[in-house]
Structure 1
Amino acid sequence: MTNNIKYLTDVFLEDFKLNFKSNYLPLYKTNNITEILKTFSNPENILESSTVFEYVPLKQERVDGEFIKENIRILWNSLKHISISEAESEKMWVALANTYYLDYHLNQLSLISTQDKAKDRSIESRTIFTQGQKRSLTINNLSLLWWIAYYTIDVEHPSNPFHLTDFFVDSAFRGNALVWLSSNIISNKNISLGILEAIKELVEQDKMIVNRYSYSNANKILNQIGGVRLLDMLSREEVKGIISEHLLDTEKIRVPQMQ
């Protein structure tokens, strides 16, 4: 089904963020679908862009990450044509999460394991942008899927362009995405794919067990050489070689225990 992409008005986004805790957070905590849909169908709050997309519902999860691979593919195939500026837009992601993808958004919020104020903060940060833009994009329930796809899809692979995507989300993808993709080091796909290939190869060679330090330390390695060589000038193979050579020597990297 072809639909127009929605986005919030500037006035409503400001109100939504300013008054989220008092006026809107209770709607998500009580799963008040009727009131949320009423709020996000008000023409004073939300508009339609001229950009269209093929809407396909996302899979509902019973366990966090259960259908992540399918959902990444679904969302990417629906929205892969949007521009980078659109993909960075809080107004668009908040609108989509509370209209077409509201069931998925509420499903994801229901899986949050923390309680009380920590859960309230998680609901807020997954619904609106509460931190820097790049970091917020890796927390929001919808934009997270799109940006994981963007930085991990390998169009050069002969049979499965999602092979690195699948590897990435097989581990604790939310935490790893937060420490990895929110870094300014991840500025182009040569860097992200080179890092991923190196980590995947080290894991497959039984030299490392992936954890969040695999990704954060890879970023640090590139950050250290950034002053000597412009990172954007590095090829994918050069990035892979640098990470493969140095990552195992960094702190808190998990390695398999010798039998």
Structure 2
Amino acid sequence: MRLQYLTDDGIQYLKGNFETNLPHYIQKDSAFFAKMLKEHDFLQDTGYDFNPFVTNLQVTGDESADDVHNAEVIHRALSNLPYYIAIDEKIWAALLHTYLFDFVCEKRKDFLDETVRDYQNKIYNSFFTYTKHGKRRGTFVNCVASLYWGAEMVYAPDNRDDPYGLLREIAATGYPSTIVIFSSSRILGRRETCIGFLNAIHKLRLAQKWNVDRPAVVSGIKYLNLIAGLSMLDMRSEEEIENMTETFYQGYFQTLERKDK
């Protein structure tokens, strides 16, 4: 299947007419957008193919499990894309308004309602990636692009049995909010660092000695950001990052235990 992108005019047209088109988003009117995009010739061919995957996506109500599953499905299908294409809003907006429109509507159905607080922004963020949050953050806020990029950050090809297994560590504290926290750290943008950090989180959770909750995850990320320059994290291996993270958490949780006494 051919991957398409929205022209610059197409992006501007959709964004400029967003409020006018809101009823069509709320009514899940995929035919309206398909007709409009075709009439204006807003869709163009990227030259890239992908294997159809939409039927493999799931929305079961178990959001954490769904996000982990769907992130793997989307990344496997689009993993051949170069970075400059995978980060481009024109690609995601095209997918979100065509091939993935019904999936987005199902995934975000609770927000397709005028009675929902801030429903306009929530719908906008669901169908575009360059938003008021900025380009990078907006991409990680989007309900589909964030799945792809989360999988890209943790994909471990050497782990043949479960190369996407670390997605579960992100989802353990709520995938949407946790991946945004990860995206804000330049250090975790390097895959080796991200994998090393999450490997340590995984081991700690398996041990079940301490509760590695969201505040603990945030503290660990802040620690890595703090020592990044002095410790030359960009040159460290996954194992070294993992060991440094484990050492940090031993002190972190021991300090918490002393405070509780």
TM-score where L is the length of structure 1: 0.87
**Equivalenced residues, count:** 252
Write out aligned runs for 1:41-190 (5 A).
41-57=38-54, 58-63=56-61, 64-112=63-111, 115-128=115-128, 129-130=130-131, 131-190=133-192
Partner of 2:27: 30
The structure in which a higher percent of residues are helix is: 2
Unaligned 5+ runs, structure 1: none
Partner of 1:212: 214
C-alpha distance after superposition, 1:26-70 (max 9, x if no partner): 221222222122233345322111111111214341413453333
Residue from 190, 194, 197 that aligns with 2:199: 197
Indicate how the Cα distance of structure 1 residues 47 and 174 shifts in structure 2: closer, same or farther if over 3 A, else same.
Answer: same
SS of residue in 1 equivalent to 2:209: coil
Indicate how the Cα distance of structure 1 residues 243 and 113 shifts in structure 2: closer, same or farther if over 3 A, else same.
Answer: farther
Partner of 2:12: 14
Alpha-carbon distance, 1:13 to partner: 1.0
**Distance in 2 between the 1:97 and 1:89 partners?**
13
C-alpha distance after superposition, 1:199-245 (max 9, x if no partner): 11111112332332233222211111123133311211121122111
SS of residue in 2 equivalent to 1:67: helix
C-alpha distance after superposition, 1:157-184 (max 9, x if no partner): 2422122123332441111111112322
TM-score where L is the length of structure 2: 0.86
SS of residue in 1 equivalent to 2:161: coil
Point out the more displaced range, 179-188 or 72-81: 179-188
- Percent identity, aligned pairs only, is 22
Report the residue type matching 2:48 in the other structure.
T
Alpha-carbon distance, 1:150 to partner: 0.8
**Distance in 1 between the 2:65 and 2:109 partners?**
14
**Distance in 1 between the 2:139 and 2:220 partners?**
20
